[in-house]
Amino acid sequence: MSNKKPESVSTNALTARLLLFAAGMFVFGVFVLPPVYDVFCEVTGLGGKTKGQAAENVVAVADESRELSLEFVTTVNQYAPWEFRPAVEKMTIHPGGLYEAMFVAQNLTDQFRVAQAVPSVAPAQAASYFKKLDCFCFSAQEFLPGEVKEMPVRFIVDSDLPDFIDTITLSYTFFDTGGTTDDAAMPENMDHGADSAHGTR
């Protein structure tokens, strides 16, 4: 090439670098953005997402001076064949105290079915203060034909909860994840969700 300047990188080297940069951006899009997004959600409570694992090192010390009202909302996704509702729709709690709430679900079919409950907290700012010690949403729930199950969630609402929040809504959506007990198909799927970086539940 007649007009190559002495200080410039060779065409091939520059092309290779640019290709590498493009590849890097692909990796960034697929492998970096999602986990970063999840961390971001966890910090800000974006989307009302709560942690997918049991909270650790939480000590229950109820702050009797403050009352919160806690509401439960249930949804069944895609007309899935479940009856799913909270045992009580509303409870009054103190921040810092340990509580348990029950949810009732029934498999309305005559087949084995697996469901996954997905929690969401409103207002979203409360999500990171909502600490679950045990939850039926931590794993997929298996149901015998027609089975009715009582499922508990044990939680503490952190007493650091900002003052402007006086009502928290805890919502669970039931997703039907399969109509068989073929243990190869669905549970594996669920594991992926939980193990991968995106499993923020």
Partner 1 sequence: MQAGDPFSKLRGVPIGVRQRRTQALNFPGKRLSDDDWHDGNCANYILRLDGHKKENASAQWHTADCLSEKLMIRKILTGALTLLAAGTASADWELNMPRGVTELSAATQDIHMVIFWWCVAIAVVVFGAMIYSIFMHRKSKGAVPAKFSHNMAAEVIWTAIPVVILIVMAVPSAELMIKLEDTRDPDLTVVVTGYQWKWHYSYQGEDVAFYSTLARASQAARRRDSGIDPETVENYLLDVDKPLVVPVDAKVRILLTSNDVLHSWWVSDLAIKKDAIPGFMNETWFKAEVPGIYRGQCAELCGMDHGYMPIVVEVVGQEAFDAWLLNEKGAVTSVASAEGDLR
Partner 2 sequence: MSTAVLDGHAADDSSEHDHGPAKGWRRWLYATNHKDIGSMYLIFSLLMFFFGGSMALVIRTELFTPGLQFIDPAFFNQMTTMHALIMVFGAVMPAFVGLANWMIPLMIGAPDMALPRMNNWSFWILPVAFTILASTLFMPGGAPASGWTMYPPLVLQTGDAFPFLIFSVHLMGISSIMGAINVIVTIINMRAPDMSLLKMPMFVWTWLITAYLLLAVMPVLAGGVTMLLTDQFFGTSFFLAAGGGDPVMFQHIFWFFGHPEVYIMILPAFGVVSEIIPTFSRKPLFGHDSMVYAASSIAFLSFIVWAHHMFTTGMPLTGQMFFMFSTLLIAVPTGVKVFNWMATMWKGSMTFETPMLFSLGFLFLFTIGGFSGLMLAIVPADIQYHDSYFVVAHFHYVLVPGSIFGLMAAVYYWIPKWTGYFYNERLGQIHFWLSTIFVNVTFFPMHFLGLAGMPRRIPDYSTQFADFNSIASIGAIGFGFSQLLFVYIVFQCVRKKGAVATQEVWDNPQGLEWTVPSPAPYHTFDTPPKVTAETAFS
Q: What is the contact surface with partner 1 in residues (CB under 8 A)?
A: 47-49, 71, 73, 75-79, 81-85, 89-90, 108, 118, 120-123, 164-167, 169, 171, 173, 175
Spell out the SS3 assignment of the chain. CCCCCCCCCCHHHHHHHHHHHHHHHHHHHHHHHHHHHHHHHHHHCHHHCCCCCCCCCCCCCCCCCCCEEEEEEEEEHHHCCEEEEECCCEEEECCCCEEEEEEEEEECCCCCEEEEEEEEEECHHHHHHEEEEEEHHHCCEEECCCCEEEEEEEEEECCCCCCCCCEEEEEEEEEEEECCCCCCCHHHHHHHHHHCCCCCC
Q: Which does 84 bind (CB under 5 to 8 A by kind): partner 1, partner 2, none?
A: partner 1
Q: State which of residues 26, 56, 57, 164 lies at the interface with partner 2 (CB under 8 A).
A: 26
Residue 39 interacts with partner 2 (CB under 8 A): yes or no: no
Q: Which does 108 bind (CB under 5 to 8 A by kind): partner 1, partner 2, none?
A: partner 1
Residues within the interface to partner 2 (CB under 8 A): 1-5, 8-11, 14-15, 18-19, 21-30, 33-34, 37, 41, 44-49, 52, 77, 116, 118, 124-125, 173, 175, 177, 188-190, 192-194, 196, 198-201
